[in-house]
Chains A and B, each alone.
Chain A
């Protein structure tokens, strides 16, 4: 259990990573609606994921509207795959 990636293991961040892993990229609004997290909470978790190198944040403008596009980095995808592998292993042991 100690080997689990603590950055991903937190439930809200796991939700964010799982959502981003299932798409190519999304904007902040889509992620906020799907995760049902508040703006502040989502921003804070995204900051931690960005710091860990798991999420890439691209800020731009669509016309005059600011647009924040988010995507999982290659490292983020690998870390998420590893996390799932470890969790499956743990659940397998618990079920045995």
Chain B
């Protein structure tokens, strides 16, 4: 071996390796189906005690679902991924990276707040779906470039197309919920396909590590 490694390319490998099994994508998709689906279901309930109880429990449950999703991903990785491709723990983000993420979140929140404040109520409801579609699409483009994962570009295209299409229906907040449900189905199916390919291509070594 005389060739020197490309250090820039190596930096992106852990994240690529982390997402190679499609588990993260699949669980994220299932969470989005839950978010959109439970919200849609709640709107169909007749007003009464059940409606009140539903809206008391479900938002809190959905808020915690992100943590539950992470826990499920970790447990599944321990059972499926690590025995096949090896165990890896991602590096903790540096202070600079944490600050950058916080700054980005503040900018996105500020843009959304400006859109909400400057538009009338029905206008916000009609704008929110395409805006969320664009934000999700950009997030997938960044993930694709950072991890050199071209399949995220497909999800970026789907998020953008769905955001515009559901936004054009002018059905208000319902569109946003449908965006999450359909995008969730696409992400879950794409993740499941990647997971099955990963399991097929990576056998469990006979000897331990």
Contact = CB atoms under 8 A, between A and B. Distances in A.
Interface string A17-39: 01100111111111111100100
Given A30-B86, A33-B86, A65 B208 contact: yes
Nearest to A16: B5
A29 B209 contact: yes
Nearest to B202: A33
Given A22-B91, A24-B91, A66-B209, A30 B17 contact: yes
Interface in B89-112: 89-92
**Could you say which interface size class chain B belongs to?**
20 to 34
A19 B86 contact: no
A24 to B, nearest CB: 4
Contacts of A18: 5, 7, 10-11
B2, B87, B89: which has the most chain A beta carbons within 10 Å?
B87
A18 B11 CA distance: 8
Contacts of A15: 5, 10
B144 interface: no
B203 interface: no
B85 interface: yes
A12, A19, A28, A37: which has the most chain B beta carbons within 10 Å?
A19
Interface of B: 1-5, 7, 10-11, 13-14, 17, 82, 85-92, 205, 208-209
Interface of A: 11-12, 14-15, 18-19, 22-34, 37, 62, 65-69, 84
